[in-house]
Amino acid sequence: MRFDGVYTPVITPFHEDQSIDEKSWGRMIEWQIENGVHGLVIGGSTGEFYALSPEDRIDQFRKAKDIVRGRVPWLAGVNAFTTDESCAFAARAREIGADGTLVAAPPYSLPTEKELALHCLKIERASGLPMMLYNYPGRTGVEMGEEFLSRVAQNSNICAIKETSGDINRVHLIAREFPQMQLVCGADDQVLEFFVWGSTGWVCGAANCVLKEALAIWEACTVEKDFDKGRRMTMAMMPLFSVLERGGKFVQCVKYACEIQGLPSGEVRLPLRPLKKELARDMRDVLTTGQRAVRAIFEEGKRQGPAAKVHQLRA
C-alpha cells in the first residue's frame, strides 16, 4: 500500500467537562473528506490518543469506519506503553476495518533498535495490515535508526515511515538507503524538502485547520512538479508552522485555528491547557496572512492557465 497525498491526523474535540464531543469529531471527519483530504489517521498524537481510555480509542476506530464508509483510506494509531497493548489495538483495528496502522516507538521504555524492531514486527503480525512507522524521537525518546530500518524493511507490510525527527539528514538517509520504504513527511516546516527528495505523502497535523492550503502545496510539488510555486506557498505558511511548534502548544494552536474558522474543535483534555491570549493572537495573525498569501499564489496560477487542476481555496 502507498500513502500518497495529505493525511490528516484528526483532532479529538472535548466538551468543557472533558467528555468527548463525538458530534464535532464526526463533523470534522466529514469536513475533511468533503474538502479533498486523501486519507485520515484516527488515534494519532494530534488526536490526543494518550488522553483517551482504551475503550474510547476502539470506539473511535468503529465510528471512523462508519463515518468514512470507504471514501478515503484511514490508519489506526495503535501506540501504547507495551507491545501487547499495541498488538491488541492493532488486532481490533484489523477486525473493524482499518486500512493500515501507524506505529511509533513505545514511550518511556527506551528500547534498543533491535527491541524496537521486534516490537513493530510483532504488531504487524497481530494486524496483518500495512504499517506506517512514525519516527518522532522528541516524543518517544528513541530514534528508528539504520539498524532498526534494516531489520523491518525486509517486511513488505512495513511499507512507509513518517519522519518527524526534524533532522534533514534522515530524509537523505531514507531516500537513499531504504527506497523500498515510502518516505512520508511528518514535519510540516520541512515539507518542501521532503517533496524535493521524492516524498509523495504528508501526514499533516496542521491540515485540521489549513487542509486546502496543504493540498495546494502537495499538488504543486507532486502533481505539477512546480517547486517554485510550492516553495512560495510553503514560505507563506512557514510562520504558521513555526507558531504551531512553539512552546509545545501544537494541539491547542490547531484547535484554536479550527475554532476561529468555524470548524469543529472543542477543548483539549488535561493535562493540556488552552492557549494564552498572546499565542492565540499570534496564531490568528499568521493563519490569516498565510491563507491570504497562498490564495493569491493560487489565483495567479489560475490566471496563467495551470496545466493541472488544483483544489479550490477559500474565497
Strands (E) located in the chain: 5-9, 39-42, 74-77, 100-104, 131-135, 158-163, 182-185, 201-203
Return the percentage of the chain with pLDDT > 70, whole number.
96
pLDDT range class, residue 308, cuts 50, 70, 90: very low
* Mean pLDDT value across residues 218-247: 93
Domains of the chain: residue spans and CATH: 5-303 (3.20.20.70)
What is 15-79 written as a DSSP string?
Answer: -TTS-B-HHHHHHHHHHHHHTT-SEEEES-GGGTGGGS-HHHHHHHHHHHHHHHTTSS-EEEE--
183, three cell numbers: 518516505
Q: Which sequence positions are flagged as catalytic?
A: 134, 162
Cα atoms found within 13 Å of the Cα of residue 42, Cβ hemisphere only: 31
CA 195 vs. chain centroid, Å, equals 16
Cα–Cα distance between 143 and 134 in angstroms, integer? 10
Per-residue buried b or exposed e for 146-165, using 16+ beta carbons within 10 Å of the residue's own CB: eebbebbbeeebbbbbbbbb
**Model pLDDT, residue 313:** 52
Which among 268, 271, 239 is positioned nearest to 254, based on CA atoms? 268
pLDDT range class, residue 247, cuts 50, 70, 90: low
If you compute the radius of gyration of the chain from its CA atoms, what whole number of angstroms results?
19
pLDDT over threshold 60, residue 294: yes
pLDDT over threshold 60, residue 253: yes
**Model pLDDT, residue 306:** 47
pLDDT range class, residue 315, cuts 50, 70, 90: very low
279, three cell numbers: 499565542
Residue 283's SS3 state is helix
pLDDT over threshold 80, residue 309: no
How confident is the model over 61-109, as pLDDT tens digits?
999 999 999 999 999 999 999 999 999 999 999 999 999 999 999 999 9
